[in-house]
Amino acid sequence: MRVLLVEDEQRLTENIVAALREVGFAVDFALDGTTGSHLAEQGVYDAIILDLMLPGKSGQKILQDLRRKKLHSPVLILTAQEGKESIVELLNAGADDYLSKPFDLGELIARVKALIRRAKGVATPVLTISDVQINTVQQTVRRKDQLIDLSPTEYRILEYLCHRPRAVVSKQELLEHLYDFDWEHHSNVIEAHISNLRRKLNITGTEELIETLRHRGYRLREEPAEA
């Protein structure tokens, strides 16, 4: 999943970016509101973390512009503002959640994961597809109760596909959501990761899980269902 962080505190930005990347997110960031707004309006982010007090353009204005343009990426607001009224105003303006500074990075990551799950119509952290179970908290995959050892990228591809039930997911879409702004540098690796993923998931007595549609992309053969 790909996340955008818009935060003008350099040290805090570095800490959040490092923590998100450590758990497998692709992360872009901006230190001012103008740049952050431009990135957010690309419409490629699975979640946006938005500070309010930003140089150039406020977080609240960025949020309002996103919703006015019908962009639905879930937005988590970082706020040092006090008072119930400002929180109500932000939620009414289209924010999906908020976190008051200072905060625990573990809580921030958990909230971002929950926002992404809800935005994709999933209520629990365990995804089930046919005989495959994916625990998105532990980042583990089991098939017929057998633990499958995946690389971080293979896991991220499988999790992303599971969040796009019945959809044909193009190679470009995978690249846009699995890598940060320099995703074009990785454009030749998706096929190799898909091939490895198929091989690892193909255990005795099972059927192929990932279907390739020539010149179109990839699709799961079975419809995901919550565990």
DSSP letters along the chain, please? -EEEEE-S-HHHHHHHHHHHHHTT-EEEEESSHHHHHHHHTT---SEEEEESS-SSS-HHHHHHHHHHTT----EEEEE---SHHHHHHHHHTT--EEEESS--HHHHHHHHHHHHHHHTT--SSEEEETTEEEETTTTEEEETTEEE---HHHHHHHHHHHTSTTPPBPHHHHHHHHS-TTGGGGTTSHHHHHHHHHHHH--TT----EEEETTTEEEESS--EE-
Q: What is the pLDDT of residue 38?
A: 97
Q: What is the pLDDT of residue 82?
A: 62
- Could you give the percent of the chain with pLDDT greater than 90? 67
| Residues 92-140: tens digit of each pLDDT | 999 999 999 999 999 999 999 999 999 988 888 899 888 889 999 899 9
- Phi and psi angles of residue 208, each rounded to the nearest 5 degrees, phi first: -55, 135
Residue written as tokens 């690389």?
151
Confidence class of residue 85 from pLDDT cuts 50, 70 and 90?
low
Is the pLDDT at 223 greater than 70? The verdict is no
Q: Give the residue-averaged pLDDT of 195-201.
A: 93
- Could you give the percent of the chain with pLDDT greater than 70? 93
Q: What is the pTM of this model?
A: 0.86
Nearest-angstrom CA–CA distance, 116 and 47: 6
- Phi and psi angles of residue 98, each rounded to the nearest 5 degrees, phi first: -145, 160
Sign of the CA dihedral with 131 first, then 133, 134, and 140 last: negative
| CA 128 to each of CA 9, 83, 133, 203, 219: distance values in angstroms, whole numbers, following the listed order | 39, 41, 5, 17, 15
Nearest-angstrom CA–CA distance, 45 and 24: 14
Q: Report the chain's C-alpha Rg in angstroms.
A: 18
Q: Give the residue-averaged pLDDT of 9-31.
A: 96
CB atoms within 10 A of CB 157: 23
